[in-house]
Structure 1
Amino acid sequence: ENTCFVLTLMVPFSFPLSKCALWDPVPMGDVIGAHITYYRNPKLSLVEKTLRLAYRHAKQNEKKSFSCFLLGTLAVNEDGEGITLTIDRFDPGRDVAGGSGKIPTASLPGDFLIPCTVNAWGPCSDNILVHSAEDISLAFKGLHQSLCSKEALDLSKLLTVRAHIFFTENLDNLHFSFRWASLTVANILEYTPVKSVPIIPTALARNLSSPMNIAQVQGTYKCGYLTMDQTRKLLLLLESDPKAYSLPLVGIWLSGVTHICSPQVWACCLRYLFSSSIQERVFSESGSFLIVLYSLTHKEPEFYECVPCSGQTELGFQILTCQETVHLFKNVEPSDKSPIQFELSSENQNAETEFFSRICKKIPIKRCVCEAVGRESLYLLARSSICIFIV
């Protein structure tokens, strides 16, 4: 038995000689669109105590413009079709030597950081901007770096949020005007269910098919890569496996998500498309790659082809905004049970979106609109204010 085991290890792994017809591309269902805003706009849930704390610090500050940070946690909704950012902490920040702004004083791993400016100038002007040109440029670089690096990809790294809050007082009334602005990746992906592809029964593959798989035990989703042997069977690789960055890859596997519509699937697919660490990606004749999904709702793995919308291969960016007014009473105990709700949308046209458009024309990028495949993609593109794609 030991001799057979050694001989098995010595057999060299080789990718199929022909890179054509690696799997059956016949659709087994309808095309499914994917984007962080595809089914539902991102929600912001601001705990009232956090807002009141920011207000008190800003009021005590000598300057009328007070820079600080709001902290929260980004999570995928229970139905898996949207995201909610719960903002429940305030950080006044501390000044950096040289006067180059503030940094957080108590940021922890996993915190979603929101740079915020609180003003007591009176009524809010419609022309107030949340982002500066430098903010936009740095956000583009950060989003791009998150997709290109080998570091573990969290969905929160594909969304930036900044805020500007104005407050006025009138007797016992507090009036807050909010300006939220977010930058994210604009690329739309499309998934098509296909027939199952044989999987080599490695320890990893057996673990992912078991009720107590690695994602269930660790309480989070897991993602890795797919390659293929000469018999056209899939070999599942961990992200940390060095072979994942030397062998030809045909796609990704995911475990621990509810279903294919999850924004986490979208994020992992973007990482696969734009990672600078992957040496060779092998696409189908139609430009698709494979997704093997070990979902929380199916016993057997699901198989999908993934393709960028209309073959769009450049990385794009999009702005989402929200402008709302909130009224509170000074001497009322805040309730954590009813946080203040906001919704980020690409439909809004305001000074922030116009500024974003002007700045993008000065950055070496190209505007591009994908031709949508299917009515849902067409609807999403129609409601998108701006999509900017890097050449």
Structure 2
Amino acid sequence: MNTRFPSSRMVPFYFPPSKCALWNPIPVGDFIYLHLNYYRNPKLVVTEKTLRLACRHAKQNKKNLPCFLLGSVTVDEDEESMTLTIDRFDPGREVPECLERTPTASLPGDFVIPCKIHTHGVCSKEIIVHDADDFSSAFKALQHHVCSKDSLDCGKLLSLRAHITSRESSDIVDLDLHWAAVTLANTFKCTPVKPIPIIPTALARNLSSNLNISQVQGTYKYGYLTMDETRKLLLLLESDPKVCSLPLVGIWLSGIIHIYSPQVWACCLRYMFSSSIQERVFSESGNFIIVLYSVTHKDPEFYECLPCDGRSSDLQFQLLTSKETLHLFKNVEPSDKNSIHFELTAESQNAETEFFNKVSKNLSIKSCFITWGESVRKLSCLGRNILFLFSLPSVLFSSL
């Protein structure tokens, strides 16, 4: 649902004539890093019933069965990482003129995991879940999601595949499970700074109220920040067309508890790599601004955010893996509540990570937007008196 705020008149809007010293950079607290697995690795929670059903289906069909595992992704309650809950098996189906099988019963919002199941064999310790095309497809899908106008989804910043080997004895089923997920490696460093004045628009007032749009819609919201000639921040909705034409200095978020939430990390990636943004203005040290309307604080929190990869327009990728062997009793009907926990980590060095590193070096994925240097030069060439005449964004009131 799009939230609209009224507008009433047209006035000229000026970005500050100098991009220097746009805000006070003096820290007022300790810095914090933002990344999907900086504080805790993502978790996989798989129901035993789903694994048994998948292996039973594979045994009845063929030794190497391509199929799918389905579930959902949620941000953990403490917002330090994410959990993938896998509770459904989908055998998939053949689609004319399509080289790969597709799920038969996936729903909007489902997290889909392509999986191969090998039966009647011994699992090799050097299983490689992805091939080169799988990695290439994952890289492109991650790039598309952070660069596009699609609704931002943390779950789409993780591309996961699985390989299961099933072995049976008289009363035991042994399952060797290999999980491998591609995600983005770009990390950000956030430092709290003193408050920056905000233009009191309808949107700004709504976000500071006890019943803001995040609470009404039951989800976090985010948008972008620009600045007027008095160095006051103007908050823009993500859908505001002015996002495509004005210089932006950062992002705002609402409905989140902590700055280190994976959702903040995802929004930082979208800000850095969105193809819709034409001009980004950074501080002299390369920072942009985050304004966080936390559900636990009355007043907004302000942070400087620095990409840890430097002034680079490249997306960086990372592989997270997990390998476990399960021993299950045969002829036991498990409850839906029986679940098995895994942890995706970047620490393991195996055949999959070696292959990932090799493929990554041969594939160059550039971001969709102009580089930082080009952005600064483009802004500077417009001169000191940059004038942006436009109809006020829908968030401005006549009180301005």
TM-score, length-scaled by structure 1: 0.89
What residue in structure 1 maps to residue 222 of structure 2?
223
Q: Does 1:88 align with 2:114?
A: no
What amino acid is aligned across from residue 276 of structure 2 in structure 1?
S
What residue in structure 1 maps to residue 179 of structure 2?
180
What residue in structure 2 maps to residue 41 of structure 1?
41
Q: CA deviation at 1:98?
A: 4.3
What residue in structure 1 maps to residue 384 of structure 2?
none
Kept in 1: contact 2:286–2:311 (CA 8 A): no
What residue in structure 2 maps to residue 210 of structure 1?
209
What residue in structure 2 maps to residue 293 of structure 1?
292
What residue in structure 2 maps to residue 65 of structure 1?
64
C-alpha distance in structure 1 between counterparts of 2:365 and 2:274, whole Å: 19
Q: Does 1:137 align with 2:124?
A: no
What residue in structure 1 maps to residue 355 of structure 2?
355
Q: Residue 211 of structure 1: SS of its match in structure 2?
A: coil
Q: Does 1:197 align with 2:199?
A: no
Q: CA deviation at 1:337?
A: 2.9
Q: CA deviation at 1:362?
A: 2.5
C-alpha distance in structure 1 between counterparts of 2:318 and 2:152, whole Å: 19
Q: Counterparts in 2 of 1:220-259, with a 5 A limit?
A: 220-259=219-258
Per-residue Cα deviation, 1:99-146 (whole angstroms, up to 9, x for no partner): 612001111111111000111042210122100100001111111111
What residue in structure 1 maps to residue 21 of structure 2?
21
- My pick for the range that moved more, 330-339 or 248-257, is 330-339
RCO higher in structure (CA 8 A, sep ≥6): 2
What residue in structure 1 maps to residue 99 of structure 2?
100
C-alpha distance in structure 2 between counterparts of 1:360 and 1:184, whole Å: 12
- My pick for the range that moved more, 309-318 or 108-117, is 309-318
Kept in 1: contact 2:249–2:280 (CA 8 A): yes
C-alpha distance in structure 1 between counterparts of 2:98 and 2:15, whole Å: 56
Q: CA deviation at 1:365?
A: 6.4
What residue in structure 2 maps to residue 51 of structure 1?
51
Q: Counterparts in 2 of 1:151-190, with a 5 A limit?
A: 151-190=150-189
Q: Structure 1 pair 363/10, CA: closer, same or farther in 2 (3 Å)?
A: closer
C-alpha distance in structure 1 between counterparts of 2:210 and 2:45, whole Å: 33
Q: Residue 215 of structure 1: SS of its match in structure 2?
A: helix
Stretches of structure 2 lacking an aligned partner (at least 5 in a row):
1-5, 367-400
Q: Counterparts in 2 of 1:298-377, with a 5 A limit?
A: 298-309=297-308, 311-313=310-312, 314-364=314-364
Per-residue Cα deviation, 1:303-354 (whole angstroms, up to 9, x for no partner): 0000011525221001111110011112223133341000011100111111
Q: Structure 1 pair 89/199, CA: closer, same or farther in 2 (3 Å)?
A: same
What amino acid is aligned across from residue 249 of structure 1 in structure 2?
L
Kept in 1: contact 2:49–2:338 (CA 8 A): no
What amino acid is aligned across from residue 185 of structure 1 in structure 2?
L
C-alpha distance in structure 2 between counterparts of 1:306 and 1:93, whole Å: 43
What residue in structure 1 maps to residue 11 of structure 2?
11
Q: Residue 33 of structure 1: SS of its match in structure 2?
A: strand
Q: CA deviation at 1:360?
A: 2.0
- My pick for the range that moved more, 332-341 or 241-250, is 332-341
Q: Residue 89 of structure 2: SS of its match in structure 1?
A: strand
What amino acid is aligned across from residue 106 of structure 2 in structure 1?
S
Per-residue Cα deviation, 1:244-289 (whole angstroms, up to 9, x for no partner): 1111100000011111010110010011011111010010111000
TM-score, length-scaled by structure 2: 0.87
C-alpha distance in structure 1 between counterparts of 2:321 and 2:345, whole Å: 5
What residue in structure 1 maps to residue 369 of structure 2?
none
What amino acid is aligned across from residue 357 of structure 1 in structure 2?
N
Q: CA deviation at 1:17?
A: 1.2
What residue in structure 2 maps to residue 280 of structure 1?
279
Kept in 1: contact 2:187–2:309 (CA 8 A): no
Q: CA deviation at 1:292?
A: 0.3
Q: CA deviation at 1:202?
A: 1.1
C-alpha distance in structure 1 between counterparts of 2:311 and 2:126, whole Å: 34
What amino acid is aligned across from residue 79 of structure 1 in structure 2?
D
What residue in structure 2 maps to residue 123 of structure 1?
122
C-alpha distance in structure 2 between counterparts of 1:159 and 1:136, whole Å: 12
Runs of 4 or more consecutive aligned structure 1 residues displaced over 4 Å after TM superposition: none
C-alpha distance in structure 2 between counterparts of 1:99 and 1:58, whole Å: 22
C-alpha distance in structure 1 between counterparts of 2:12 and 2:68, whole Å: 54
Kept in 1: contact 2:222–2:238 (CA 8 A): yes
C-alpha distance in structure 2 between counterparts of 1:101 and 1:153, whole Å: 26
C-alpha distance in structure 2 between counterparts of 1:24 and 1:101, whole Å: 53
C-alpha distance in structure 1 between counterparts of 2:251 and 2:266, whole Å: 11
C-alpha distance in structure 2 between counterparts of 1:166 and 1:331, whole Å: 18
- How many corresponding residue pairs? 360
Provide the alpha-carbon RMSD of the alignment: 1.6
What amino acid is aligned across from residue 334 of structure 1 in structure 2?
P
C-alpha distance in structure 2 between counterparts of 1:211 and 1:90, whole Å: 42
